[in-house]
Amino acid sequence: MVTRTMEGTGMDEAPLPEKDARLLRYLKTLVTALTVTMIAGFIVLIAVIVMRFNAEGTVPLPDQIALPDGVAATAITRGPDWLGVVTDDGRILIYGLDGTTLRQEIAVTPGG
């Protein structure tokens, strides 16, 4: 039988009814299971993130991209075998993955 203590209250220990003791054990089990599940889920989430960032086959952006003189990049995107650079003068420049070979230039005209 489970007894409850009321330390510092001046009350004697009173036995906890068996029904309440079973309910308390059940709740403790549920809380423990939830805690273990949350910890395991967090570990799996961290592992997936780490594996994704360390995945083979990802090609990083080059250190430098050969832009024309006087042009600044406003956005960069990477395709499977190309880099797209949006410039501040209204063009999209398509480069090879090395960042030096200009493949295509697209002029963006304002819509109206």
What percent of the chain is helix, strand and coil (3-state, nearest 5)? 30, 25, 45
In terms of Cβ atoms closer than 10 Å to its own Cβ (0-12, 13-18, 19+), residue 102 is: middle
For residue 74 the two structure tokens come to: 């406003």
Identify the pLDDT of residue 2: 56
Identify the pLDDT of residue 39: 98
Q: Which residues pair with 107 in a beta bridge?
A: 91
| Residuewise pLDDT in 10s, the chain (112 residues) | 555 555 666 556 677 788 888 999 999 999 999 999 999 999 999 999 998 887 766 667 788 888 889 999 999 998 888 999 999 988 999 999 888 889 999 998 877 6
Identify the pLDDT of residue 38: 98
The answer to whether 102 touches 95, Cβ cutoff 8 Å, is yes
Identify the pLDDT of residue 9: 61
**Nearest Cα to Cα of residue 85 among 104, 70, 69:** 104
For residue 75 the two structure tokens come to: 């956005």
Identify the pLDDT of residue 66: 87
C-alpha span between 52 and 71 (Å, rounded): 34
